[in-house]
Structure 1
Amino acid sequence: MSIIYVDADACPVKAEIERVATRHKLVMKLVSNGGLRPSANPLVESVIVPDGPDEADKWIADRCGPADVVITGDIPLAAKCVEAGSECLRHNGERFTGANIGQQLAMRDLMADLRAADPFRQGGGRGFTKADRSRFLDALERAVRAAKARE
């Protein structure tokens, strides 16, 4: 049975994921270090991992497989999930694949180097929009169907 794993810390689309999981009758695992409000939905399970860097990522990477969907903004976690055969999406609906994950990792490293070279440079990322939410829902629907086809 397919499972939707959510790297839940700072995930802006938890409610949308829950709606899709409920519609498809899939278990949704919200993985975090704590601090999330539990859902009354019996399909939603809150998984609290120990404090520490990347503990939620390790937990998800150790369990996901080809019939699962993973939602994360963490590129190294996405690489592990793609390698495991999972469908993997960013919060804005962008899909991580075997064809693009290498470029994503390289871009992440480049941006880290640029930030380190200019410590005064501030964020400046764009905000999360309704269009991002809509694009995410469409991508999640496609990812769930693809994962269920591999069950």
Structure 2
Amino acid sequence: MIPFRNRVVVDGDACPVKTEIARAVQACGATALMVSSHAHVLVPEDRVEVVTVDASDQAADLYIANALTKRDILVTGDYGLAALGLARGAAVLTPRGKRIAEDDIDGLLAQRHFSAKQRRGGMRTRGPKPFSDEDRARFQQKLTYLLRGMQENPDV
């Protein structure tokens, strides 16, 4: 059984599913903490706290890493922050609804490093595919599942 998760911590700068997160926490009786830099304006709402950090490199990630607990769900597409979240015991979910586990993170970080090295060498690498309605629906389903603390099922 997954322990009940009662807070969603969001890397808010580039998160495309902020509305879905707010809806899910309100429906499940949980809370959300959305962290972003001054360059991104987020509006607090019922059960959603917004924290704005300075625009310095990694300020939001450092704030999030220090705020996370093992009872949280971290929503991020940043694999470095995901690794920190896993180390803190948080569940990690990408905005596309992929659950990142301890077994996944080393390979994801290695791929990120390899792609960055190629780009520094002048090669072009592929970016992510466009965000779709299916991605949004998958995310909503997985987040609700985690918030309700249901038994883990890798097919969901």
Q: TM-score w.r.t. structure 2 length?
A: 0.86
Number of residue pairs the alignment of both structures matches: 145
- RMSD over equivalenced CA pairs, Å: 1.7
* Partner of residue 26 from structure 2, selected from 7, 12, 22: 22
Q: Which residue of 1 aligns with 2:137?
A: 134
- Within 5 Å, give how 1:45-124 maps onto structure 2: 45-118=49-122, 121=124, 124=127
The residue identity in structure 2 corresponding to 1:76 is: G
Identify which of structures 1 and 2 has the higher relative contact order when contacts are C-alpha pairs closer than 8 Å and 6+ apart: 2
Q: CA deviation at 1:122?
A: 6.5
Q: Give per-residue Cα distances to partners, 1:66-123, cap 9 Å, x unaligned.
A: 111110111110001011110111110111111111111111101111111225x265
Distance 2:70 2:127 in 1: 35
Distance 2:128 2:25 in 1: 29
Q: CA deviation at 1:134?
A: 1.0
Identity %: 32
Distance 2:82 2:129 in 1: 21
Q: TM-score w.r.t. structure 1 length?
A: 0.88
Q: Which residue of 1 aligns with 2:43?
A: 38
Q: Give per-residue Cα distances to partners, 1:43-63, cap 9 Å, x unaligned.
A: 111101122111111111111
* Partner of residue 11 from structure 2, selected from 1, 4, 7: 7
Which consecutive residues of structure 2, in runs of 5 or more, have no partner in the other structure? 151-156
Asked if structure 1 preserves the Cα contact closer than 8 Å seen for 2:28 and 2:148, the reply is no
Partner SS state of residue 100, structure 1 = helix
The runs of 4+ residues in structure 1 deviating greater than 6 Å are none
Q: CA deviation at 1:138?
A: 1.5
Distance 1:37 1:58 in 2: 18
